[in-house]
Every structure is written in structure tokens, then in C-alpha cells.
């Protein structure tokens, strides 16, 4: 994978824009997923994920090919997500689309607090609840939890993506897990 | 209920990171065997992780790559494939 990616990067550096399309194909699911979990809204996630690739393209000459491309790309994407969250802080939570509900927002969630008897609906509800609770985490905890458990990064990779000491990453994962444990303990 | 050693929760967290030394692992195990409150707490932490991991179904929008390509700055297009 890394060899293929580096080959495509060389092509892009030589001016072959089409080669970048293959890079996007390889990483689009991961980047979109990361953005979606961070932002909780498909449209915004799509916008930010696309923007991450555009920035990667524009800055591709500054990527050091001895390093992992995915780490570099995640870093661009997480920074964009965090910027976006900070810009719209006061209302992002209630506006956030709930996972798997195709357009439902937290506003509709509040109204529909009751339990459904159907078990399939309950699974969906559970995932919505978990997504909602992840979105309630302060962004510094949310980002490490998402990178760790949804993108499956190692603690070392997270420390590289976020440019943060390993010890800080650990502390934040511990606090993030503890916060979620509390938030989810009555399920 | 007697108070549990303060470091037990930290050991649990470190265990979940795969970061706990063998010696501390023994201390944790030993404590868990005799403390149901901590057992429960530990289970809750593990369950939390399972919950987080259960949220993983999500589809990337159609035409994602095409849309990215359309957003790339045009001036670099010259040396690429001509259409």
C-alpha cells in the first residue's frame, strides 16, 4: 500500500493530476468516516473530507515520503474538523445529524425520547445514542477516541497525527473512555 | 465497602491500552477477583469500547472522488491526461 501510494505521489508531483484520483479512492472511506464521526453531519463531513484531499493535493510537495501518508492525511482532516467545530460551537450539537437516520437531527431526537419495542430499531437507536454521546465529548477527547476506536490507530500514530506527546494522548483516551462510560452507563 | 487502591482504575485504563506491565497486571487481577464493584466498573469500560466500535456502518457519498477532483486547482492540470 505505502509503495503504491508513494508511486502515485511521485506521479502527482510530476503534474499528473489524475494519479491523485487513485489516492482519493484509497483513502476516501477512512477520511469521510473520520470527519463524519467528528462532525456528526453527512453534508459537513463530505465538505470537510473533500477539503482535506484538496489541501493534501495543494501541499503534496511538503509531504515527506519516508513517513506514512495516512498519518499526514489524517492530520489535515482532523485539523479541519476541529477548526469547523470551533467555528460553530454554540449550535453544532443540536444541529448534528444522527447516525443512520438520514437527516434526523438532535432536535428530533429530543422530541422522540421514548423507547421502541422493535429490536432492529433498538440497534439503530443504540448506535444513534453512542454517536450522540461521542459528539457530546469535548473535541480534544472526541478526536482521540475516534482515531483509536473507529480508525483503529495505535497510540503512537495518534500522537503523530495530533502532534501531541504520547503521555497526553494516553491521558485523553483515559478521560474520554471514562466520560463515555459515565454517559453510556445506563444503557 | 472498603476503599479500593487508587491506582486500580489507572491499571484498568492501561490494560485497555495494552500498556500494563506484567507485575501491575497481577495486582489488577488479584484485586478484581475479590472486588465486585471494580469488576463491574471494568466491564463497563470494556462495554463502552464495544459500543464505540459498534457505530461503524457508514457509507461514503457517491461521486466523492469525482467531486474532489473537480475542486482541485485547475492550473496544475496542464501536464496531466488530456481530454
DSSP letters for B39-51: HHHHHHHHHHHHH
pLDDT band at A15 (very low <50, low <70, confident <90, very high): very high
Long-range contacts at B29-32 (CB < 8 A, ≥ 24 apart): B31/B4, B31/B5
Q: How far is B6 from chain A (nearest CA, A)?
A: 15
The closest CB to that of A15, out of B47, B64, B80, belongs to: B80
For chains A and B, count residue pairs whose Cβ atoms are closer than 8 Å.
107
Provide the mean pLDDT of chain B: 87
**Closest-CA residue in chain A for B67?**
A50
In the prediction, which pLDDT does A103 show?
A: 53
Angstrom distance (rounded) from CA A138 to CA A136: 6
Q: Flag if A24 and B49 touch (Cβ within 8 Å).
A: no
CB contact at 8 A, A129 and A123: no
Task: Give residues with Cβ within 8 angstroms of B55, minimum separation 6.
Answer: A37, A99, A127, A130, A131, A134, A150
- Residue B66, classed as helix, strand or coil, is helix
Does residue B49 contact residue A149 with C-beta atoms inside 8 Å? yes
High-pLDDT (> 90) share of chain A, % = 66
Nearest to A46 among B16, B61, B78 (CB): B61
The interface predicted TM-score (ipTM) is 0.81
Partners of residue B53 in chain A, C-beta under 8 Å: 149-150
Q: Mean pLDDT of all residues in chain A?
A: 86
Contact A180, A134 (CB under 8 A): yes
Task: Select from B68, B70, B73, B77 the residue whose CB has the most chain A CBs within 10 Å, as the one to mutate to test that interface.
Answer: B68
8-state DSSP, A100: T
Contact B69 A20 (CB under 8 A): yes
Relative orientation angle of helices A18-39 and A42-58, to the nearest 10 degrees? 140
pLDDT tier at B71, thresholds 50, 70, 90: very high
Amino acid at each position: 500500500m505505502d509503495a503504491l501510494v508513494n508511486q502515485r505521489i511521485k506521479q502527482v508531483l510530476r503534474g499528473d493530476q489524475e494519479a491523485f484520483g487513485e489516492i482519493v479512492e484509497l483513502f476516501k472511506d477512512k477520511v469521510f468516516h473520520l470527519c463524519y464521526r467528528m462532525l456528526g453531519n453527512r453534508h459537513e463531513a463530505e465538505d470537510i473530507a473533500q477539503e482535506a484531499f484538496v489541501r493534501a493535493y495543494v501541499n503534496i510537495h511538503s509531504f515527506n515520503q519516508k513517513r506514512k501518508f495516512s498519518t499526514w492525511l489524517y492530520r489535515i482532516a482532523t485539523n479541519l474538523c476541529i477548526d469547523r467545530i470551533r467555528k460553530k460551537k454554540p449550535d453544532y450539537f443540536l444541529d448534528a445529524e444522527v447516525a443512520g437516520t438520514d437527516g434526523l437531527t438532535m432536535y428530533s431526537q429530543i422530541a422522540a425520547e421514548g423507547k421502541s419495542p422493535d429490536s432492529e430499531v433498538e440497534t439503530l437507536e443504540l448506535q444513534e445514542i453512542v454517536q450522540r454521546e461521542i459528539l457530546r465529548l469535548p473535541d480534544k477527547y472526541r478526536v482521540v477516541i475516534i482515531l483509536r476506536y473507529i480508525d483503529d490507530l495505535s497510540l503512537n500514530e495518534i500522537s503523530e497525527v495530533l502532534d501531541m506527546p504520547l503521555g497526553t494522548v494516553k491521558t485523553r483516551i483515559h478521560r474520554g473512555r471514562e466520560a463515555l462510560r459515565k454517559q453510556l452507563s445506563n444503557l | 465497602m472498603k476503599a479500593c487502591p487508587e491506582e486500580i482504575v489507572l491499571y484498568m485504563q492501561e490494560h485497555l491500552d495494552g500498556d500494563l506491565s506484567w507485575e501491575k497486571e497481577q495486582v489488577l487481577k488479584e484485586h478484581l477477583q475479590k472486588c465486585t464493584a471494580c469488576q463491574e466498573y471494568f466491564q463497563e469500560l470494556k462495554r463502552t469500547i464495544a459500543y464505540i466500535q459498534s457505530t461503524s456502518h457508514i457509507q461514503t457519498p457517491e461521486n466523492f472522488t469525482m467531486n474532489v477532483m473537480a475542486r482541485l486547482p485547475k492550473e496544475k492540470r496542464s501536464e496531466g491526461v488530456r481530454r
